[in-house]
Amino acid sequence: MTTIGNQPKRRSWRRLLITLFSAGLLWQSQAIAATDFDYQFDYQEVQVDELQAAMADGQLNAEAIVRHYYQQIAQHNQRGADLRAVNQLLPLEQALALARDLDAERDNGTVRGPLHGIPVLLKDNIDTADGLPNTAGSLLLKEHFPAQDAFLVERLRDAGAIIIGKANLSEWANFRSTASSSGWSSVGGQTKNPFDTTRSTCGSSAGSAAAVSANFIPLAVGTETDGSLVCPAAVTGIVTIKPTIGLISRSGIIPISHSQDTAGPMARSVRDAVYLLAAMQGKDAADSAGYAVDTDFTAHLKDDGLRGKRIGVMRDLTGYHAGLDAVFDAQLEALRNAGAIIVDDIEFVNGRGWGQDEFTVLLHEFKADMAAYFAQHPQSPYRSLADLIAANEAQADSIMPFFGQELFTMADARSEAQQEEYEAALKRAKQAAGVDGIDATLKAHKLDLLIAPTTAPAWKIDLINGDHYLGSASSPAAVAGYPHITVPMGFVQHLPVGLSFFAGANSEATLIEAAYGFEQVTQARKAPPLMPRDH
């Protein structure tokens, strides 16, 4: 007999091997003790507050919670549903040691906050100094061991979160090829959607989204440049918050673009996403855009958060999928019933003229920002994008079996002679999406926020032709650097779809109120079946 909290528990031990690097790399193997407790605690769709309550009354402790999620990952990451959502885990005993330390703190009367003892996965492009490589999904970085935690990782550890491992992603955050399959990496293989394993997770925070949706983990961190948080969240039926650029530090994250990159929380509820956002946010002196706020975001989790808000329905971000539009239109009545003032048939007052300029910015900054990242990691054998291109070519059979590196070569072709062109493109893009886009549209119609369907239902995974991408609401807020929240709003047949809420810079509090209010009246999130589909 062993004791968890004050309750005696029986343990039936099984040995389960967790494979940590797929697609030809020898994954680290470890024996996982899968524990069958004789209590009735139900982890399915569990929320952070429920885990905290169970730990407070002795029904659970952090050690038991960690064991449970390791078992879930062992059962369905490369077995069962075979989601390929997790690239690597800490050795179990290392994770349990962290959990025991936090349990001891709790026993001594210290609880750091809502994340105390809660396991978290990080997207595999975020630095940790715990012995896990930061791979960006590429076999080139399988031996890339950062010397220090990213700033956001320090914040999470201070909040009591237990970072247990890294989630799969679209390799290089989906900025390697124009013909990529979202969620595929040479490290982790193809991430699959837990609602239908023949379908995409979108990208690039594919594994973070799939792991949260499949109940592999309560919380995960993803990153976005344009759509890499909100698209995976929408098609896997979870919540994410893409914050204003600088609210969460960008230090220690393998980059694409310093003008648009940000990390963000991924969770099964708005409340849990807010807990994770609050823990990660904070001013980092090493981040030129970093800032801190005194806002208590949890105070904006209001059941009546929609009441009185003037909401613009962005019709120029619809029309690419009839089923999606039908679900979206049906939810407008739910918004009205919750007290929102709906202003329909809104379009951007100055159009959407930022697309080509955004692409120029991403290409130009990617080359420079990758070099800057490697300069901070002198142990890396790579110093530049050119080094990566050459290494990819040398290992093409394992790294590029399905698609190439066109975006790498286009970015590497950028030169200092194009600096003025880049600066002009950056200024135009920010102006078009921000001041002349979101800001002007809010002002013209006296609105508090804008809404649109986040993106179409998940498409079939296609490693030959790449993604079948129809449309999205991600770009305006991404290019402007403004916040964007997506919340599950329903289903098109068996596939979840999301509702996007976005507004001007530093409008997180307003968006949280609206998103939480919508979530409370709709409760559209459903757990996936976690079984492969044969169609």
Give catalytic residues, as residue numbers: 123, 204, 228
DSSP state of 475: H
- Main-chain dihedrals φ then ψ at residue 88, nearest 5 degrees: -160, 150
* C-alpha span between 21 and 144 (Å, rounded): 14
* C-alpha span between 212 and 191 (Å, rounded): 13
Who contacts 509 (Cβ-Cβ below 8 Å, separation ≥6)? 295, 297, 300
Who contacts 253 (Cβ-Cβ below 8 Å, separation ≥6)? 125, 126, 127, 150, 152, 223, 261, 263
Instruction: Decide: helix, strand or coil at residue 101.
Output: helix
* C-alpha span between 98 and 157 (Å, rounded): 10
For strand 310-314 and strand 449-453, is the pairing parallel, antiparallel, or unpaired? parallel
Q: What's the one-letter identity of residue 355?
A: G
Question: Which secondary-structure segment (H or E) carries 487?
Answer: strand 484-492
* C-alpha span between 24 and 59 (Å, rounded): 41
Structure tokens at 402: 């399905």
Are 219 and 466 contacting, i.e. CB atoms less than 8 angstroms apart? no
CB-side exposure of 166: number of CA atoms within 13 Å?
Answer: 28
Structure tokens at 455: 């993106």
Are 43 and 55 contacting, i.e. CB atoms less than 8 angstroms apart? no
* C-alpha span between 273 and 239 (Å, rounded): 7
Torsion from C-alpha of 262, 127, 229, 516, nearest 10 degrees: -80
CA quadruple 70, 72, 73, 74: dihedral sign: positive
Length of the chain: 535
Q: What's the Cα-to-Cα distance from 415 to each of 364, 420, 445, rounded to whole Å?
A: 8, 10, 42
* C-alpha span between 515 and 24 (Å, rounded): 42
- Main-chain dihedrals φ then ψ at residue 489, nearest 5 degrees: -120, 0
Taking alpha carbons only, the member of 102, 382, 389, 431 closest to residue 254 is: 382
